[in-house]
Amino acid sequence: MNSKRFSTFLFVLLLTISGASCSDDSTGDNSTEFCSSLRILSSPNSTLTNLTFDDPKLVNQTIADLLALTSQAPSNISEETYAVVSLYEDILSKLVSVSPSQRTAELRNFQNQLDGVTTAARALELYGETECDLVFISPFDSRTTPVPSEDRE
């Protein structure tokens, strides 16, 4: 996988979401709070969306936001959320600690782990769509341009 595609996959793996409000269906124990945090984390102004590895403070805030998401995950998605967030935390911590010229090589070192978390990422994506009424632009979608979401009430 080339470095640009890998970097894009990494970012989209967790969240590239545009969304409406969460549903009030409480199929999980913390679904409303989790959905709200998921929506905030994926917003255009979030730390994740505006992440730069040259700003350790921003990376640390992003990690804190991701860990908070994990702590809010309903029981029916908690393992998957933990798997995705844990790997993302490891990647972010590593990338902020190396020079810009080393980041692509370091990302490649996570390839097997990224492949292993694909199922969890898909489950998290599905949960966001079905329980939180979010629309994901999936890294698993073969289309090159996102499909506009329908207006939601």
pLDDT 10s digits, 86-116: 999 999 999 999 999 999 999 999 999 998 8
pLDDT in tens, 50-87: 888 888 999 999 999 999 999 999 999 999 999 999 99
Residue identified by tokens 């996988």 is 1
The confidence band for 45, taking pLDDT boundaries of 50, 70 and 90, is: confident
List the one residue out of 107, 20, 15, 105 whose CA is nearest residue 62. Answer: 15
- What integer best gives the mean pLDDT of the chain? 76
Give the pair of three-digit tokens for residue 113: 């782990």
What would the two tokens of residue 55 be?
């700003």
Report pLDDT for 90. Answer: 95
SS (HEC) of 78-107: HHHHHHHHHHHHHHHHHHHHCCHHHHHHHH
